[in-house]
Amino acid sequence: MPPPAVASVLRRSRFLNWAYRRLEARRNRTAYLRHHERLFDPGYSGWQYFRMALVHFARGCREHGAQPVAVLFPDLSQVNETPYPLQPFHDRIHDALAKAGIPCLDLLDDFRGTDPYRLQAVPGVDGHPNEIAHRIIAESLLQFLAANETIDPAYIPRARSGSEKKFWDALAARLNDPAAVPSAPAAPPPLDESLDD
């Protein structure tokens, strides 16, 4: 929030209001990136503890017959920027996970080309993934686990590709000729048994 005197001036000028918001956005972005640089600085004790914790966690999982898997979420508000501004930090996380022997699913490519506002819990306010983004995440994770043989193939839906094709064919038919596709049955299906029994 600008100081009261500045806010008073900004309310009277659209241009000054626009310029102030642009400058604030740039200042906030710079502070955001500096914060990440600090978090992932090799000399920062928090980053060193995190890397050691990954190694201990992976060792403990293997001792108990479990395979840990990491899922790396991108910043949904910046996924379509080229270059992706947080890529150096993703690279450091990948390196730390590889040294700990933990496979990683980085979701950056899964979200590239999408509309970030359609994927955020509260667009522009809370950038956490919403239900649409979680659906993308779940499908990517299932494919990742299956490809890395982390889960039994029995967990993969057998009719998945067929049911998706059927859905898209029905949707295309409805979009191309809405009158030809019945929206509901003309009469309810008959009951085989009496409800009185």
Residue-range domain boundaries for the chain:
1-39, 45-157
Q: How does residue 87 score in pLDDT terms, banded at 50, 70 and 90?
A: very high
Q: What pLDDT does 70 receive?
A: 96
CB 69: neighbour CB atoms within 10 A?
17
Q: How does residue 1 score in pLDDT terms, banded at 50, 70 and 90?
A: confident
In whole angstroms, what is the distance from residue 105 CA to residue 91 CA?
12
Give 101's contacts (C-beta < 8 A, 6+ positions apart).
58, 62
Identify the DSSP state of 14. H
Q: What pLDDT does 187 receive?
A: 59
Angle of the 87-100 helix axis to the 45-63 helix axis, nearest 10: 40
In whole angstroms, what is the distance from residue 72 CA to residue 194 CA?
55
> How crowded is the C-beta side of 101, counted as CA atoms within 13 Å?
10
| Share above pLDDT 70 across residues of the chain, in percent, rounded to a whole number | 81
Q: What is the pTM of this model?
A: 0.68
Identify the DSSP state of 125. T
Residue 42, SS3 per DSSP: coil
**192 pLDDT above the threshold of 60:** no
**168 pLDDT above the threshold of 70:** no
Q: What pLDDT does 10 receive?
A: 77
Computed over every residue of the chain, the mean pLDDT equals 83
Q: What pLDDT does 107 receive?
A: 95
**143 pLDDT above the threshold of 80:** yes
Least confidently predicted of 31-40, 119-128, 186-195: 186-195
| CA dihedral sign of residues 168, 174, 176, 180 | positive
The more confidently predicted of residues 49 and 173 is 49
* Most confident among 33-37, 84-88, 114-118, 189-193 (mean pLDDT): 84-88
Q: What pLDDT does 28 receive?
A: 83
| Share above pLDDT 90 across residues of the chain, in percent, rounded to a whole number | 34
